[in-house]
Structure 1
Amino acid sequence: MASAKIFLIFLLAALIATPAAFAILVPTLVSTHISGLVFCSVNGNLDVFNGLSPQVFPNASMQLRCGATNVISSTITNGSGAFSLVVNTFPLLNCNLVVATPLSTCNATLQSNGRLASSLRLVNITLGSGTGLIRVGLAPTGFILNLNVN
């Protein structure tokens, strides 16, 4: 009877210690990758007036903002309007992508007040085999001119 109790105590101790030991050997890191395209348009869609696709927004300053104004990370779009951010912050709560460069920079006929902004959507989650790295892929839901954002 006493040996059964001792066995159960050792079994419970082993079960409790195993996840802790595994966590020490394989730390879990979360890397969040955010990428997308920015167009020189108030809504990023086709121009309903003449059916032309909007031009891309090159060299635009991009910001990942969490909360009202807290900038977590920033980058600049390339010549094709593409951007990519990598942050090790997760979860990203109440975060949006904001194009800090005024829209009138890419087209003088567009507004200079307000900024393009987009919420984020989950694209994928990848688990690293044996590395403990979790890669979360996010993308913008769609940039829309927001007159309340500066």
Structure 2
Amino acid sequence: MTRLLPIAVALTATLAIPACAPKPPAGVDAELLAQEIGNAVGSDSTCVLFARAGGDGAVVHRYGTHLTCGRTLPSCDGSSVTAADMLKRAAKGEVLSLSCDTRLEDARTVGWATGPVAQAGPARDLVYVAVMEGDRALPGREIRTRIEAAFRVAKL
């Protein structure tokens, strides 16, 4: 019985993680949104954060783990940032599609996309940052194309 206790604690902690994630705005189907993001740009290295346009960049919804979203990566403009740092830029109105190398020896790249989520609907006042990093990361322009199509399918 005592051998099962660590497994039970780990399972409970794993199941509690999604409960800690910020909820999407009213009128947004979180499951459909997660499914469409996953279909469009989903991987272990994908992070998508949402914030209010014109706000302070506080995360109102997240796709991806804290670990994935909390990594420091090249911004592709000379500095290193986290997804939350880029989300603050998006909240101020920056629309970006960036790509660059992260580790040349492994052919790893990072792709960033930021911008408004929608012109109308329940997410019309939201902005996003989407980032992928790794040896199969999409370029920022491709992330933008795919993620914005996913937002439309998810009825944002």
Structure-2-length-normalised TM-score: 0.26
Q: From the two aligned structures, give the one with the greater helix fraction.
A: 2
* Greater gyration radius: 1
Q: From the two aligned structures, give the one with the greater strand fraction.
A: 1
Structure-1-length-normalised TM-score: 0.27
